[in-house]
Amino acid sequence: MIEGLHQVSKKKKIPGKILKEAKTWLSLAEKALNYRKDLLTPESINGFSSAIEQLDEVLENPERRTVSPDEITKAQNSVIEQLRQHGGNYYHTRNWTDNMEMFLVAIIVIIGIRTFFFQPFKIPTNSMYPTYNGMTYEFFETAADEPSTPERIFRKVTLFTKHYSTEAPVDGEVLIPIATDGHRYNVAGGRLVKGRKWGILPAKFAQYTLYVDESPVTIQVPDQFNFQSLVKDVFGDTAHQRIAYLKGVGAVLRTGRVVKKGEKVLSFDILTGDQLFVDRITYHFRAPRVGDPFVFSTDNIPGMEADQRGKYYVKRLAGEGGDVLQIKEPVLYRNDQPAEENDAFICNANQEGEYEGYTDEDSRMKYLYEGTPYKVPEDCYFALGDNSDQSLDSRFWGPVPKTEVVGRAILIYYPFTHRWGNAK
């Protein structure tokens, strides 16, 4: 007897980790059985209950030193097997139907939030600059100016930049095909091509052809990127006495930039446009207000060109039904008073900083052209871009029906620049 007692005392105490894990499975199994009894057959309930009782008995043994870890593991595995067969969502591994159900529920929730509450929206152009940025660029004059690899990674994460460049096939001067009146020019070309965004999603790009001496080089950029602005910033805005004619091409701008074979003709980063959250709730409880940055659909605007339909625009709400609007450069007038409902109106009127003022001299304008007053129809809003000189807005295609309003821009969530935060 003394020898037997000695042998019992030599048995090791069960490690606390094993006991804790077994108790966790026991608690989970009891919960699963209680919640799923009405869905299980009597045979399944009996098997489930038996496994639970067995594990409970092992764990509640007052002489725990006489129970080996293998006995606990065996009882625990029986419970796990019952959970696998009958535990449904309580078991820690789900079958593919459970995962599909969760996936579909998540999609429905996301669609619901996007449709009724908050919708993400990306600014594609600079019509609202400097309040919001569309795609902008940073030009690199020499290879030494280009960001290093760590800098590119940092810029990619914080600003979502993408690098574009093209190399010279021969030595020579960079020539740009243009259309010109002899003093100013526009870059010719910009052929629309189809491609892939992120290598997966279909997207549209604009392909431009430049020349080094007489050899063509092409560069492809997003179709909404303002390549004209980049070229004019880099090579100047005027063409006086710099025009030449290239056989088979026509008028070209002599840039004065001479490159050697293999050198960069152009090297620049495109920075993503501001990405906003659009509040789709507020306008269900109150009407949009003059000065709001509002988002609307272009589908049913009568004066909108066909290629502009099917998109969402964000502009400044400049006038509502019954308002009389007029532009006296650089000031926007609403009902014979300078518009002051938003800082952008005031900054444009005073041409503060990068706000250049409202313009009314584009011959394509159908409304507000050269100071002509315009009364906004009832059930409509008049939309203007803060960057008036580079904005296609209600001056060109008319008022926005109230039925097309989507919501109000409330937050710039990306990229991480000084504009991050509340949308103005």
Residue 331 is predicted with a pLDDT of: 97
pTM for this model (two decimals): 0.65
For residue 138, list its beta bridge partners: 269
Residue 120 is predicted with a pLDDT of: 85
The Cβ-side half-sphere exposure at 53, using a 13 Å CA radius, reads 6
Q: 124 CB contacts (<8 Å, ≥6 apart)?
A: 134, 135, 224, 273
pLDDT above 70: residue 285: yes
pLDDT above 70: residue 7: no
Residue 116 is predicted with a pLDDT of: 64
pLDDT band at 118 (very low <50, low <70, confident <90, very high): confident
Residue 10 is predicted with a pLDDT of: 46
pLDDT band at 5 (very low <50, low <70, confident <90, very high): very low
pLDDT band at 58 (very low <50, low <70, confident <90, very high): confident
Neighbours of 272 (CB within 10 A): 20
pLDDT, averaged across the chain: 87
Whether residue 380 contacts residue 400, with contact meaning beta carbons closer than 8 Å, is answered with yes
Residue 12 is predicted with a pLDDT of: 56
pLDDT above 70: residue 205: yes
Which pair of tokens denotes residue 281?
Answer: 């709730």
Residue with more model confidence, 287 or 18: 287
Q: What is the rounded average pLDDT of the residues 370-387?
A: 96
What are 213-251's pLDDT values in tens digits? Answer: 999 999 999 988 889 989 999 998 888 889 999 998 999
Cis ω before 130 (30° cut-off from 0): yes
pLDDT above 60: residue 8: no
pLDDT band at 333 (very low <50, low <70, confident <90, very high): very high
d(C-alpha 382, C-alpha 392), whole Å = 12
pLDDT above 80: residue 3: no
pLDDT band at 94 (very low <50, low <70, confident <90, very high): low
Tell me how far apart the terminal alpha carbons of the chain are, to the nearest angstrom: 88
Q: What is the rounded average pLDDT of the residues 265-270?
A: 94
The two beta strands, 380-384 and 312-320, are antiparallel
For residue 278, list its beta bridge partners: 119, 409
d(C-alpha 318, C-alpha 192), whole Å = 33
Q: What is the rounded average pLDDT of the residues 337-349?
A: 96
Residue with more model confidence, 25 or 327: 327
Domains (ranges, CATH) in the chain? 2-90 (1.20.1270), 137-271 (no CATH), 275-422 (2.10.109.10)
Residue with more model confidence, 350 or 184: 350
Residue 91 is predicted with a pLDDT of: 65
pLDDT above 90: residue 121: no
Instruction: For residue 11, report the phi and psi dihedrals to the nearest 5 degrees.
Output: -65, 135
pLDDT above 80: residue 137: yes
